[in-house]
Amino acid sequence: MHNPEAPFNRSFFAGASGPRFDPEAALDIAQGGRVIVVSDLHMGGGRRDDLEFNGALLHTILEQYYFPSGWNLLLNGDIEELQRHSPASVRAKWPQFYRLFDLFAAEGRFFKTLGNHDEALLFERDYPYPLYNVVRIETPQFPVFVYHGHQFSRMYTDFNGIVGLGIRYLLKPFGIRNVSTARSPNHRFVVEKKAYSFSRQNRCVSIIGHTHRALFESLGRFEIIKYEIERLCRNYTDADENSRERIKNEIDALRVDLGKLRRREKRDMLKQSLYGDELPVPCLFNSGCAIGRQGFNAIELDRDTIALVYWFAEGASRKFVNRGWYQVEKFGATPYRRVVLNSDSLSYIKARIELLG
């Protein structure tokens, strides 16, 4: 694995001089330790707050699941929505989260990168937490670089201030929620492809946010569904009659999901994958976002494995969680549930990067 000269060192954060800003932080879990990566909370300070749907869920899970178990918390950019709200109004709206951040920080288990929506924290003299451009996580296999991902978009590195003015004074008065790369399939694809190309060329692993789309081993939901359909087709040939009927129903449901994704992502306008005709290299991951209506994604990382997980409230889960091939974990007496969508060993990922990268 190479030690990349990261593009984030050339971003608009490179000249930052805020009171608690450092370009890079190091977190070593090679001898043990676990990290939960969450991105894009967009905590607001007024009406139509982006976090309102998942605020209680996210706070409960961080406070009662990850903190008592000794996890490190890494917030990967766009945590505060400062293009529409002031830092003071965000703190007033979400004091419970800052108390929770304090608990993690007091034990040295709190890391926070900057995104394009919370850039204004650089100028907050009384902001209590260190701010980083990238967090380098050391594992026994390779370093993992965690950064927000907007660094690959010139619009956000060169014109972020202008974008912020438009959001605050044109969109906010009309009650329009967060407008981001996530709303533009083409822009999102460009950012992800650049992040993938950077990671592949440097033979490193990157975890980003920004696009609000969860990725595991460089694959999005669209590609994962196609692989799942292929797997089910192979299982169909050796299945008994009852199992064949179940497999057929699963394939039909997945094909419906595939069509919805194709329309939503406007995939006919885009290349069909991040990697073109090449074999996919598992070098890019994305923790998704926390502002959906039914739950949130996160990346879990320890010294040996990496996983993409999904948390949701009982009765509000997406259909794909309930189809039978996911193991749903109940969290105590709460109505909240956890599902591991994908998981793999870091040693396998390292081998694939070395062979394919």
Q: What is the per-residue pLDDT for 157? A: 42
Q: Is residue 260 part of a domain?
A: yes
Is residue 214 located within the same domain as residue 312? Answer: yes
Tell me: the pLDDT tens digits for 301-351? Answer: 999 999 999 999 987 656 566 555 678 899 999 999 999 988 999 999 999
**CA–CA separation, 306 vs 140, rounded Å?**
13
Is residue 83 located within the same domain as residue 203? Answer: yes
Average pLDDT over residues 26-30: 95
Average pLDDT over residues 178-182: 46
Is residue 247 located within the same domain as residue 140? Answer: no
The residue out of 240, 265, 290 marking a domain boundary is: 265
Asked whether the predicted pLDDT for residue 228 surpasses 90, the reply is no
**CA–CA separation, 253 vs 102, rounded Å?**
44
Average pLDDT over residues 178-207: 76
**CA–CA separation, 29 vs 284, rounded Å?**
19
Q: What is the per-residue pLDDT for 325? A: 66
Q: Is residue 195 part of a domain?
A: yes
Q: Is residue 1 part of a domain?
A: no
Nearest C-alpha neighbor of 195 from the set 252, 152, 238, 137: 152
**CA–CA separation, 57 vs 38, rounded Å?**
13
Is residue 107 located within the same domain as residue 256? Answer: no
Q: What residues contact residue 320 under an 8 Å CB cut-off, 6+ apart?
A: 253, 257, 326
The residue out of 209, 239, 265 marking a domain boundary is: 265
Cα 348 to Cα 217, 234, 283, 355: the distances in Å are 11, 23, 12, 11
- 242 vs 304: which has the higher pLDDT: 304
The residue out of 204, 233, 265 marking a domain boundary is: 265
Q: What is the per-residue pLDDT for 253? A: 78
**CA–CA separation, 36 vs 341, rounded Å?**
15
- How does the average pLDDT of the chain come out, rounded? 79
Confidence of residue 261 (pLDDT cuts 50, 70, 90): low
Q: Is residue 270 part of a domain?
A: no
Is residue 172 located within the same domain as residue 234? Answer: no
Total structural domains within the chain: 2
Q: What is the per-residue pLDDT for 278? A: 64
Amino acid, single-letter form, for residue 57: L
Residue in this structure with the two tokens 């890391």, named with its chain if needed = 111
The burial of 197, by beta-carbon neighbours within 10 Å (0-12 exposed, 13-18 middle, 19 or more buried), is given as: middle
Asked whether the predicted pLDDT for residue 158 surpasses 70, the reply is no
Is residue 66 located within the same domain as residue 133? Answer: yes
- The CATH number of residue 295's host domain is 3.60.21.10
Q: Is residue 68 part of a domain?
A: yes
Q: Is residue 273 part of a domain?
A: no
Is residue 259 located within the same domain as residue 317? Answer: no
Is residue 317 located within the same domain as residue 254? Answer: no
Q: What is the per-residue pLDDT for 246? A: 81
Is residue 181 located within the same domain as residue 201? Answer: yes
Confidence of residue 11 (pLDDT cuts 50, 70, 90): very low
Q: Is residue 91 part of a domain?
A: yes
Tell me: the pLDDT tens digits for 280-297? Answer: 788 999 999 998 778 999
Nearest C-alpha neighbor of 115 from the set 291, 250, 337, 326: 291
- 221 vs 35: which has the higher pLDDT: 35
Tell me: the pLDDT tens digits for 37-85? Answer: 999 999 998 777 889 889 999 999 999 999 999 999 999 999 999 988 8
Is residue 234 located within the same domain as residue 208? Answer: no
Note the pTM of the prediction, 2 decimals.
0.79
Tell me: the pLDDT tens digits for 243-254? Answer: 888 888 878 877
Q: Is residue 317 part of a domain?
A: yes
**CA–CA separation, 184 vs 116, rounded Å?**
16
Q: What is the per-residue pLDDT for 184? A: 62
Is residue 140 located within the same domain as residue 251? Answer: no
Is residue 231 located within the same domain as residue 207? Answer: no
Percent of the chain with pLDDT over 70: 74
**CA–CA separation, 270 vs 268, rounded Å?**
5
Asked whether the predicted pLDDT for residue 185 surpasses 60, the reply is yes
State the residue range of the domain holding 294: 7-218+281-356
Q: What is the per-residue pLDDT for 131? A: 92
- 187 vs 132: which has the higher pLDDT: 132
